[in-house]
Amino acid sequence: MAEVLVVVEASPSGVKKVTLEMLTLARSLGLGDVAAVVLGGEGAAAGVVDKLGEYGAAKVYAAESAELTEYLVAPKATVLANLITQVSPAAVLLPSSQEGKEIAGRVAVKLDNGLLTDVVAVEADGTATQVVFAGSTIVKSKVTKGLPIVTVRPNSLTPAPSPVTPVVEPVAVSVEKRDLLAKIVERKVEAKGARPELAEASVVVSGGRGVGSADNFKLVEELADLLGGAVGASRAAVDSGFYPHQFQVGQTGKTVSPQLYVALGISGAIQHRAGMQTSKTIVAVNKDAEAPIFELADFGVVGDLFKVVPQAAEEIRKR
């Protein structure tokens, strides 16, 4: 029986949540065993095997070589394309991250195969659901040539464990000369604060232009910390210099899907919604009762955030 391959995305702190979501999705397809593919440096698989097994990866293909970390994505695409040719999987899932999409695109070209990106659901027959045009349109599509190669949007589903003990199978890394044309010369890892990672947080408190200044964002941070959440920002807040770009939520920022999303002084433009509209519960504070964010919010407070947020914080502190 063919396998479903899941390309692992990990950070120095471990396997990313999107990987666990993909493993869960891969199992739900019922097409065959789920196999994870680690494309990293020497020893990369050892640190993640247990976690991958916990979420149902019966096999872990370990492609480990300095070339996979020292160069841009081209070597990873070559190794993955070779593996696909070798094992003929039923489907391949990659994260819809910048890197995941680039690897997927290159693999699809190498194999002359169809490709679907930004997918939020896949059915056993390969029919995928895609969210397009800033989240305003849902499309069902299918690869018509080759196997389904699909990039999965983070936070599309809830990861569910299904423990197995994975077999680790080393994969020969054989890259082409043209894969080594661009080398990474410096890598800066942002200092990790005490807050959870934005894309993976179960609570996100975001501020918009209505927050008014970088200094006022302390109010947003304070509420986020009380709720154990991450801080997000609208593009207007980022463009105004109130908060760094890495925290932007929306079409040109991060996609989040927390249990609770709190929007403070955010109007609710379609491009912002694109990054947060699948949040389970949305709370908005806006002084304009006509703000479009209220069409989306489960709970809305029409009022001045500088009055509402301190009161909410005070109540939370009492509990």
Binding site feature residues for FAD: 209, 234-235, 248-252, 265-272, 286
Name which of 55 and 242 has its Cβ closer to ligand FAD. 242
Residue closest to ligand FAD (Cβ) = 250
CB 240 → ligand FAD: shortest distance, Å? 9
- Tokens read off for 294: 């209220």
CB 293 → ligand FAD: shortest distance, Å? 7
Residues 6+ apart with CB under 8 A from 256: 155, 198, 199, 201, 204, 230, 232, 249, 275, 276, 279
Does 291 interact with ligand FAD (rule: CB under 6 A)?
A: yes
Binding-site member from 129, 209, 225, 296 for ligand FAD (CB under 6 A)? 209
Residues 6+ apart with CB under 8 A from 102: 73, 77
Does 216 interact with ligand FAD (rule: CB under 6 A)?
A: no
Name which of 27 and 235 has its Cβ closer to ligand FAD. 235
- Tokens read off for 16: 């990313």
* Site map 218..257 versus ligand FAD, x via CB under 6 A: ----------------xxxx----------xxxxxx----
Does 284 interact with ligand FAD (rule: CB under 6 A)?
A: no
Binding-site member from 2, 110, 164, 287 for ligand FAD (CB under 6 A)? 287
Angle between helices 217-226 and 305-318 (to 10 degrees): 20
Name which of 16 and 273 has its Cβ closer to ligand FAD. 273
Does 282 interact with ligand FAD (rule: CB under 6 A)?
A: no
CB 290 → ligand FAD: shortest distance, Å? 9
Q: Among residues 248, 230, 222, which one has the least CA distance to residue 308?
A: 222
Helix (H), strand (E) at residue 224 = helix 217-226
Q: Which amino acid is at 63?
A: A
302-311: long-range pairs with CB below 8 Å, 24+: 305/210, 305/211, 305/219, 305/264, 305/265, 306/216, 306/219, 309/219, 309/220, 309/222, 309/223, 309/264, 309/285, 310/219
Binding residues for ligand FAD, rule: CB under 6 A, are: 208-210, 234-237, 248-253, 265-267, 269, 271-272, 275, 285-288, 291, 304-306
